[in-house]
């Protein structure tokens, strides 16, 4: 079927030519069985003699645990109980500081923290068994505000409760502001965001006869889980096998959290000797699992009359919650991204991740960047207004180009599509016309259009480079098909499909002849986490390395069979081509390879390119950057403060779209998640405890809220990426919030400095600004 596609040959202009499968929108690999209801998620697994588990949690934000009494549980047949005293190994979640215990040992530091575990043969018994456990607490003083926490006498970490801090300085910040013709200064606040994956966290732990443990579950990072489970059980990692089940959404929420869930299930499986299933309820998932960090961003930006940025001073504070988990890494990424994709000669950035007695925060699509993007992109619009410039022109003037140096000292070698994303988005959205006409509507509904330009470092970068490597395995079977395995995971983003296309392209198979093995720690070496938009680049390159010896073997045999030199042989779409015409089927070639007892399996490995970072100077923070421009159009109801998003235009430089339809799918999905962040999503706490722990109180966008989305793909190839691709799946969310709040400003003249822009918040601003007034009885 693919033969009908005209062939492009090397030398036709692109550095990467004659692709048959990469760059085409093949059907998503995992869609068919998902649409039939046949996909197997963790809660769909059943093992003989399996027990069901539950977690007893602290209701206090900070309390000494004086006594944990299992009550009547001890005597009950087939009922198993675990507290921190029963943990055979290390009671901790290994991540950066390893400070979050699996079960609170003596002190609980947030409301919802796990204190004890129970397992029983029937799921419906679990709630009452948990009620039988009696825990005696002595409440302690707690601190909930990160700025107060730094000065608080409540000690959660070190001597000032600061988990991590970064800084860098470029140029002369004081002189920069002296030279500025215009300076804008303000404080911005961003809320929690709950991942709201539709499948809650869940794991099944199955003891193995040799004293090991098999783990099946919903996760992004099976190698994290392997390390955590081995640690908590005090056994070798070589006896822990982790298999990722179909994963029903993750968005960062299944980066480190599944290690916690798996450790809990594994402890019960270890104590009972039975398989144990632990599926979190929606309420306990929202209560106890990580969120996007609330942020406080103090920003001062200076520019010349012509719009040239001269100075940016940013202080960034993250509310980390009770344990550090990923906070240092999240903070570092936010620090690097603090000044936006702009040429800024004088920069001062200071950042702090601070402990509080609330739910620990961690990874969420964007990883510390959306907060600072909201601040910087709001500031850019304010500079534009002060100078009477068009916001798009201001950005165009300041955006980095190829060869420029980022404010933290990274000279950009290539793959810089910033300007192109801006130009395309401006053109496609009708920006110029709408900037003039919107906002002038009669009546109480005002329209506005706003934009934001962003960048995003792909991969783990310098702060996580020890983990930035990936393995892969490819096996060609004698019937002319191929299977492969990688250590990164599919969570809906489309990794399986993109990688299957890369394997087919590399070895000349038809897409339909490629199969993907489940991600399993026993198949490939530690491949790091599936985060930071890194799977396509890292696993893609590992697969290309694995494919190389296989392709060489196949070409060598074909060359002998066809009596033509190897350089004339092409493997593509299931056939062997010479001079552009098919001479032999791949099936026959593979049969011959098997007859010759050739090695038709191969391992590949890939280590990420060099990155570096030092506080003060900065460095080459990431291997490559992705660039994007977002334009939002809104309609604000002055009478209610409601904001309706009419349209989002979202242009992304992805390097190379391995599968354009899947790329567009990410753009659409991320835009709506970003719209939720902008307008409605917020976790509310009372005395540190989350009070909106379900979907009737934590509101995410529904289909009724979804605006029109116009996705635009820009391809500035990344020379080290597979076929030019660079990571992409996080960026669609980023920058949507400031594009929307900038549009609200354009519509109404009110500036939203704290997210989400709920109707209440917008209406209050409108009232204060005198845009509407309350009717008062005379």
Partner 1 sequence: MKKLTVNFTVNGERVRLRVPANRTLLDILREDLGLTGTKRGCDTGECGACTVLMNGRSVNSCLVLAGEVEGAEIITVEGLGGEEALHPLQEAFLEEDAVQCGFCIPGMLMSAKYLLDRNPDPSEEEIREAISGNLCRCTGYIPIIRAIKRAALKLKERK
**Which of these segments, 35-43, 66-74, 461-469, 679-687, binds partner 1 (CB under 8 A)?**
35-43
Binder to partner 1 among 15, 36, 77, 153 (CB under 8 A)? Answer: 36
What's 246's DSSP letter?
B
In the numeric block, which tokens belong to residue 493?
A: 């983003």
Q: How far apart are the C-alpha atoms of 82 and 103, rounded to whole Å?
A: 9
Nearer to partner 1, 52 or 606 (CB): 52
Find out whether 98 and 327 touch, Cβ atoms under 8 Å.
no
For residue 43, state whether it binds partner 1 (rule: CB under 8 A).
yes
Q: At closest approach, how far in Å is the CB of 684 from partner 1?
A: 17
Q: At closest approach, how far in Å is the CB of 123 from partner 1?
A: 7
Neighbours of 186 (CB within 10 A): 15
Nearest to 526 by CA among 225, 123, 185: 225
Find all residues with CB under 8 Å of 702, minimum gap 6, and list them.
none
- What residues between 234 and 253 interact with partner 1 by CB under 8 A? 246-251
Dihedral angle, C-alpha 103, 104, 105, 106, nearest 10 °: -150
For residue 41, state whether it binds partner 1 (rule: CB under 8 A).
yes
For residue 492, state whether it binds partner 1 (rule: CB under 8 A).
yes
Task: Calculate the alpha carbon distances from 348 to 300, 316, 331, 671 in Å.
Answer: 10, 11, 15, 31
Nearer to partner 1, 476 or 651 (CB): 651
For residue 493, state whether it binds partner 1 (rule: CB under 8 A).
yes
For residue 494, state whether it binds partner 1 (rule: CB under 8 A).
yes
What's 633's DSSP letter?
E
Q: How far apart are the first and last CA of the chain?
A: 77
In the numeric block, which tokens belong to residue 310?
A: 């001269």
Q: For 324-437, where are the E strands, in sequence order?
A: 346-355
Nearer to partner 1, 214 or 246 (CB): 246
In the numeric block, which tokens belong to residue 177?
A: 């502001």
Q: How far apart are the C-alpha atoms of 553 and 549, rounded to whole Å?
A: 6
Nearer to partner 1, 364 or 718 (CB): 364
**Which of these segments, 178-186, 405-413, 704-712, 760-768, binds partner 1 (CB under 8 A)?**
704-712
Q: At closest approach, how far in Å is the CB of 194 from partner 1?
A: 10
Q: For 175-256, where are the E strands, in sequence order?
A: 182-190, 202-207, 213-217, 240-244
Strand-strand pairing, 240-244 and 213-217: parallel
Q: At closest approach, how far in Å is the CB of 292 from partner 1?
A: 14
Contact letters for partner 1, residues 718-757 (x by CB under 8 A)? ----------------------------------------
**Residue 276: in which H helix or E strand, if any?**
strand 276-279
Q: At closest approach, how far in Å is the CB of 31 from partner 1?
A: 4
For residue 713, state whether it binds partner 1 (rule: CB under 8 A).
no
Neighbours of 610 (CB within 10 A): 9
Find all residues with CB under 8 Å of 122, minimum gap 6, and list them.
52
Q: At closest approach, how far in Å is the CB of 677 from partner 1?
A: 12
Nearer to partner 1, 127 or 139 (CB): 127
Find out whether 202 and 278 touch, Cβ atoms under 8 Å.
yes
For residue 491, state whether it binds partner 1 (rule: CB under 8 A).
yes
Nearer to partner 1, 497 or 541 (CB): 497
Block residue for tokens 């190698």 = 223
Q: At closest approach, how far in Å is the CB of 401 from partner 1?
A: 31
Binder to partner 1 among 6, 37, 48, 388 (CB under 8 A)? Answer: 37
Binder to partner 1 among 5, 17, 31, 607 (CB under 8 A)? Answer: 31
Neighbours of 440 (CB within 10 A): 8
Q: Which residues pair with 136 in a beta bridge?
A: 67
**Which of these segments, 535-543, 549-557, 591-599, 689-697, binds partner 1 (CB under 8 A)?**
689-697
For residue 691, state whether it binds partner 1 (rule: CB under 8 A).
no
**Which of these segments, 418-426, 453-461, 695-703, 768-776, binds partner 1 (CB under 8 A)?**
695-703
For residue 44, state whether it binds partner 1 (rule: CB under 8 A).
yes
- What residues between 181 and 200 interact with partner 1 by CB under 8 A? 195-200
**Which of these segments, 388-396, 417-425, 485-493, 599-607, binds partner 1 (CB under 8 A)?**
485-493
Find out whether 732 and 671 touch, Cβ atoms under 8 Å.
yes
- What residues between 122 and 141 interact with partner 1 by CB under 8 A? 123-124
Residue 304 CA from chain centroid, whole number: 36
**Which of these segments, 262-270, 324-332, 351-359, 669-677, binds partner 1 (CB under 8 A)?**
669-677
Contact letters for partner 1, residues 556-595 (x by CB under 8 A)? ----------------------------------------
**Which of these segments, 90-98, 366-374, 679-687, 690-698, binds partner 1 (CB under 8 A)?**
690-698
Q: At closest approach, how far in Å is the CB of 321 from partner 1?
A: 22
**Which of these segments, 22-30, 298-306, 354-362, 479-487, binds partner 1 (CB under 8 A)?**
22-30
Nearer to partner 1, 195 or 761 (CB): 195
Q: Which residues pair with 482 in a beta bridge?
A: 476, 514
Residues binding partner 1: number (CB under 8 A): 56
Nearer to partner 1, 499 or 576 (CB): 499
Q: How far apart are the C-alpha atoms of 558 and 572, rounded to whole Å?
A: 13
Q: How far apart are the C-alpha atoms of 718 and 661, rounded to whole Å?
A: 20
Q: At closest approach, how far in Å is the CB of 704 from partner 1?
A: 5
Task: Calculate the alpha carbon distances from 21 to 28, 159, 577, 753 in Å.
Answer: 13, 56, 16, 46
Binder to partner 1 among 182, 706, 767, 772 (CB under 8 A)? Answer: 706
**Residue 660: in which H helix or E strand, if any?**
helix 660-679
3-class SS of residue 188: strand
Q: At closest approach, how far in Å is the CB of 447 from partner 1?
A: 20
Find out whether 393 and 381 touch, Cβ atoms under 8 Å.
no
In the numeric block, which tokens belong to residue 388?
A: 């009477």
- What residues between 250 and 309 interact with partner 1 by CB under 8 A? 250-251, 279, 281-282
DSSP string of 430-469?
THHHHHHHTT--SSSEEEEEEEEEEEEEESSTGGGGGG-E
Residues making contact with partner 1 (CB under 8 A): 25, 27-28, 30-32, 34-41, 43-44, 123-124, 195-200, 246-251, 279, 281-282, 491-494, 661-662, 665, 668-673, 694-696, 700-704, 706, 709
């Amino acid at each position: 079927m693919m033969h009908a596609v005209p062939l492009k040959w090397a030398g036709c202009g692109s550095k990467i030519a004659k692709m048959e499968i990469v760059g085409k929108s093949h059907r998503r690999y995992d869609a068919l069985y998902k649409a039939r209801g046949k996909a197997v998620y963790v809660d769909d697994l059943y093992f003989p003699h399996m027990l069901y588990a539950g977690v007893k949690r602290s209701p206090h934000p900070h309390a000494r645990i004086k006594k944990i009494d299992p009550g009547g549980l001890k005597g009950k047949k087939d009922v198993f109980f675990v507290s921190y005293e029963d943990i055979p190994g290390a009671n901790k979640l290994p991540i950066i500081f390893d400070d979050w215990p699996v079960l609170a040992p003596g002190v609980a530091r947030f409301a919802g923290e796990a204190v004890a575990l129970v397992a029983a043969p029937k799921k419906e018994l679990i709630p009452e068994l948990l009620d039988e456990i009696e825990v005696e607490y002595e409440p302690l003083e707690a601190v909930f505000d990160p700025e107060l926490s730094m000065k608080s006498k409540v000690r959660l970490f070190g001597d000032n409760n600061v988990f991590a801090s970064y800084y860098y300085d470029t140029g002369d910040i004081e002189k920069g502001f002296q030279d500025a013709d215009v300076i804008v200064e303000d404080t911005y606040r961003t809320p929690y965001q709950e991942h709201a994956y539709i499948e809650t966290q869940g794991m099944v732990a199955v003891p193995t006869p040799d004293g090991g443990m098999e783990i099946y579950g919903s996760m992004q990072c099976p190698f994290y889980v392997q390390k955590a489970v081995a640690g908590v059980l005090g056994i070798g990692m070589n006896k822990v096998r982790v298999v990722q089940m179909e994963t029903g959404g993750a968005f960062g929420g299944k980066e480190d959290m599944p290690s916690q869930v798996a450790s809990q299930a594994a402890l019960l499986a270890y104590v009972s000797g039975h398989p144990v299933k632990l599926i979190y309820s929606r309420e306990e998932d929202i209560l106890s699992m990580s969120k996007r960090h609330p942020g406080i961003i103090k920003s001062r930006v200076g520019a010349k009359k012509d719009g040239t940025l001269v100075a940016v001073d940013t202080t960034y504070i993250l509310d980390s919650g009770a344990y550090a988990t990923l906070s240092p890494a999240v903070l570092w990424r936010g620090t690097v991204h603090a000044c936006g994709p702009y040429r800024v000669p004088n920069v001062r950035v200071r950042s702090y991740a601070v402990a509080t007695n609330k739910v620990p925060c961690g990874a969420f699509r964007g990883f510390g960047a959306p907060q600072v993007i909201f601040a910087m992109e709001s500031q850019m619009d304010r500079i534009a207004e002060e100078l009477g410039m068009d916001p798009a022109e201001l950005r165009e003037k300041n955006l980095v180009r190829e060869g420029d140096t980022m404010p933290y000292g990274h000279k950009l070698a290539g793959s810089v599509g910033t300007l192109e994303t801006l130009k395309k988005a401006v053109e496609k959205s009708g920006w110029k016309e709408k900037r003039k006409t919107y906002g002038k509507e009669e009546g109480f509904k005002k329209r506005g259009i706003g934009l934001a330009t962003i960048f995003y470092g792909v991969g783990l970068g310098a702060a996580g480079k020890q983990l930035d490597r990936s393995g892969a395995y490819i096996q060609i079977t004698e019937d002319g098909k191929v299977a492969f395995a990688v250590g990164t995971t599919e969570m809906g983003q489309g990794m399986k499909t993109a990688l299957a296309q890369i394997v087919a392209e590399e070895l000349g198979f038809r897409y339909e002849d490629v199969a993907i093995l489940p991600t399993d720690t026993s198949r490939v070496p530690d491949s790091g986490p599936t985060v930071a938009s890194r799977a396509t680049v890292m696993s893609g390159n590992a697969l290309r390395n694995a494919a190389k010896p296989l392709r060489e073997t196949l070409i060598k045999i074909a060359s002998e069979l066809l009596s033509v030199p190897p350089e004339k042989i092409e493997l593509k779409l299931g056939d062997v081509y010479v001079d552009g015409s098919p001479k032999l089927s791949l099936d026959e070639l593979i049969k011959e390879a098997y007859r010759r007892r050739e090695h038709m399996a191969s391992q590949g490995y890939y280590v990420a390119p060099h990155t570096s970072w030092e506080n003060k100077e900065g460095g080459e923070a990431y291997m490559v950057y992705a660039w994007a421009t977002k334009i939002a159009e809104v309609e604000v109801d002055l009478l209610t403060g409601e904001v309706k998003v009419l349209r989002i235009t979202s242009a992304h430089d992805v390097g190379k779209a391995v599968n354009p339809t899947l790329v567009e799918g990410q753009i659409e999905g991320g835009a709506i998640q970003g719209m939720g962040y902008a307008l409605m999503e917020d976790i509310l706490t009372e005395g540190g405890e989350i009070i909106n722990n379900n979907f009737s109180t934590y509101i995410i966008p529904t289909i009724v809220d979804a605006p029109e989305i116009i996705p635009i793909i820009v391809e500035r190839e990344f020379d080290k990426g597979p076929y030019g691709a660079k990571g992409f799946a996080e960026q669609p969310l980023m920058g949507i919030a400031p594009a929307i709040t900038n549009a609200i400003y354009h519509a109404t003249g009110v500036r939203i400095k704290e997210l989400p822009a709920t109707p209440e918040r917008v209406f209050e601003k409108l009232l204060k600004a005198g845009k509407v007034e309350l009717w008062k009885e005379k």
